[in-house]
Chains A and B, each alone.
Chain A
Amino acid sequence: MRADIQLGNGAIPVQTIAAVKMKPHATRLTTSLLLTSVCAMVVCACGDRPTDPPAQPGLTPSAAAATHPSAPRFEVHVAKPTGPPRVATDRVDALGRPITVGCATCHSLGVGDSTRAMGATLTQFHQALVTRHGELACRSCHEAPDYANLHLADGTTVPFTDVQTLCRQCHGPQARDFDRGSHGGMNGYWDLTRGPRQRHACTTCHDPHAPAYVGMVPARGPVPQHFGGE
């Protein structure tokens, strides 16, 4: 735990010259001159350093915190999915757009072999689906016969818009980090009293069926600095 948060106010007070004992005049003069020069050197060396910013008037850390809760806060908007996913068929409509179907289109007809538990065993549909999510089976998250929703481990129905709740039930540390701003990108304001913030959802980066982060080719590296002159 880091307790020594620097407040940045390091002005060092000027030392005052202590009272000088009664001594013969010349010795007293020498002593006070010596003390003055030492103090002057200390002040010279310590004062006027550019690192010393002026003290913040009236605002201690606790006072700052106190102003925040009462200030109006803008919202943090998480980019959740809008609903159940739709599957593209091989047909297109009159305008050339692919025709998509919802889960219920097939699964309400009783289609779907519940004995096929893992994605690798699918033979007729969803074969392009890659599942690499630990030891999870399809029905760990998807609910038969209501494929329009998901379910938690205890059976509670969870709509697709709340898929994050499903992720959270197992991935607690990541959920905690997400809530605390250290997992998952964001745009907008750090100071929510001044503006809103937009955030990724879990599923923005992690495909729920193969959540391991895919990785990418990195952006350009540093240009070698070797100007060479003329």
Chain B
Amino acid sequence: MSALPFEPPPPPPPASTTRRSLLKLAGLTLGAAAFGKAVSPMFSFAAEKSIDEFLQNHYRELGPADLREVITRLEAETKRDYGADVTIRDPKPLPGVKFGYALNLSVCIGCRKCVEACHVENNHDRAGYQSYIRVLEMDKGTIDLEHGRADYGEPVPQPDKYYLPVQCQQCDEPPCVDVCPVEATWKEPDGIVVVDYNWCIGCRYCEAACPYHARRFNWTAPVVPAAEVNPEQGYLSNRIRPQGVMEKCTFCMHKTREGKLPACLEACPTGARVFGNLLDPNSEIRWILENKRVFVLKEELGTKPSFFYFFDV
């Protein structure tokens, strides 16, 4: 038995050392070139991004001047990429306002006009017909979503069905906010849960966490024809989002923070949607909460939604 379980290999002859070294060098060079070629698609993508965008801070840390610069740059990029002149504003939360939304399930006929209006208002990708709202056709007599269908097509309303539009519930205990690793999403003082599209890293943990299928991811850069771009945009709401980031319903905050109604409500032909300030005791939404038999979806999860459903009794 030898003291060493291994025997050292015999030293290679000198000539082959040089050949080995040359071969290794050639191999390394070839490898580096191959790597460069393999990675090249990323360079054209990176060339379109600016250093300013790369280094941009979180929304909550941008001063007014920084934000103005960012917005100017974004408006210019929208013009360059989409051929549309847009105005991006950043309306602040109104004092003494907390938004609430109610939906009358006795009146909703499932026409999906709200879905369409959301698609148009929020500059969604046209090919995917993206929208923040999904309408479920439910059997009368059950609230179990397992018996719902989102892909109905027959004329509405069907006599044995009722229709349940679902969108972001702007929860008071939002699971999406808890799980975001970089605080790219947070709840604003007026109740809206927002996303800073220039901070999100696209890990989609929030999408996994949301119990209401409310979050959407930009699997590709949205494609919107210039003529169809909605030019009234908000920084945290309906500006055209970049590829690879999350987005969600913001209760049309670029409109509602100026006192206007959200697009889905304006499109609803039957008036099934009620929107307003929960802190105003004279508002329509407060009357609904105090006089109708109101419920929320998946209440047992403790998310405390700001979106309420009711039937006319």
User: In the docked arrangement, what's the CA distance between A53 and B150, Å?
Assistant: 35
Contact B261 A189 (CB under 8 A): yes
B36 within 8 A of A: no
* CB neighbours of B265 from chain A (8 A): 186
* CB neighbours of A2 from chain B (8 A): 289-290, 294
User: In the docked arrangement, what's the CA distance between A193 and B269, Å?
Assistant: 24
B302 within 8 A of A: no
A98 within 8 A of B: no
Contact A50 B274 (CB under 8 A): no
Name the segment of B8-16, B19-27, B107-115 touching the other chain.
B107-115
A220 within 8 A of B: yes
Contact B98 A190 (CB under 8 A): no
Name the interface residues of B72-124: CB closer than 8 Å to any CB of A: 94-98, 102, 104, 107, 109-113, 115-116
Contact A67 B187 (CB under 8 A): no
Instruction: Return B148 CB to nearest CB of chain A, in Å.
Output: 13
User: In the docked arrangement, what's the CA distance between A51 and B304, Å?
Assistant: 13
Contact B259 A194 (CB under 8 A): yes
A96 within 8 A of B: no
Known contacts: A8-B98, A221-B112. The answer to whether A182 contacts B269 by CB under 8 A is no
Name the interface residues of A9-66: CB closer than 8 Å to any CB of B: 49-51, 53-54, 56, 59, 61, 63-65
* CB neighbours of A6 from chain B (8 A): 98, 172, 304, 306
User: In the docked arrangement, what's the CA distance between A225 and B289, Å?
Assistant: 36
Known contacts: A53-B188, A215-B109. The answer to whether A186 contacts B134 by CB under 8 A is no
User: In the docked arrangement, what's the CA distance between A56 and B134, Å?
Assistant: 33
User: In the docked arrangement, what's the CA distance between A178 and B180, Å?
Assistant: 41
* CB neighbours of A140 from chain B (8 A): none
* CB neighbours of A197 from chain B (8 A): 261
Name the segment of B41-49, B138-146, B152-160, B227-235 touching the other chain.
B152-160
* CB neighbours of A128 from chain B (8 A): none
* CB neighbours of A67 from chain B (8 A): 96
Instruction: Return A175 CB to nearest CB of chain B, in Å.
Output: 12
Task: Say which residue of B177, B256, B292, B304 sits within 8 Å of A190 (CB atoms).
Answer: B256
Measured as residues with beta carbon below 8 angstroms from the partner, the interface class of chain A is: 35 or more
B219 within 8 A of A: yes
User: In the docked arrangement, what's the CA distance between A68 and B276, Å?
Assistant: 13
Contact B151 A222 (CB under 8 A): yes
* CB neighbours of B185 from chain A (8 A): 50
User: In the docked arrangement, what's the CA distance between A197 and B275, Å?
Assistant: 13
Name the interface residues of B168-189: CB closer than 8 Å to any CB of A: 172-174, 177-178, 180, 183, 185-189
Instruction: Return B124 CB to nearest CB of chain A, in Å.
Output: 11
Name the interface residues of B268-306: CB closer than 8 Å to any CB of A: 268-272, 274-284, 287-292, 294, 304, 306
* CB neighbours of A65 from chain B (8 A): 279-282
Contact A222 B107 (CB under 8 A): no
Name the interface residues of A194-230: CB closer than 8 Å to any CB of B: 194-195, 197, 200, 205, 213, 215-225, 227
> Could you list 19 further interchain pairs (A-B, Cβ under 8 angstroms) beyond the known A5-B279, A186-B261?
A2-B289, A5-B278, A6-B172, A7-B98, A51-B178, A61-B281, A64-B96, A64-B280, A65-B280, A67-B96, A177-B312, A182-B288, A184-B270, A190-B276, A190-B284, A205-B270, A216-B155, A222-B151, A225-B128
19 A-B residue pairings within 8 Å (CB atoms) = A1-B290, A6-B98, A49-B178, A53-B187, A56-B189, A64-B95, A177-B104, A180-B287, A180-B291, A190-B259, A190-B283, A194-B259, A215-B155, A218-B112, A219-B115, A220-B129, A221-B112, A221-B151, A222-B150
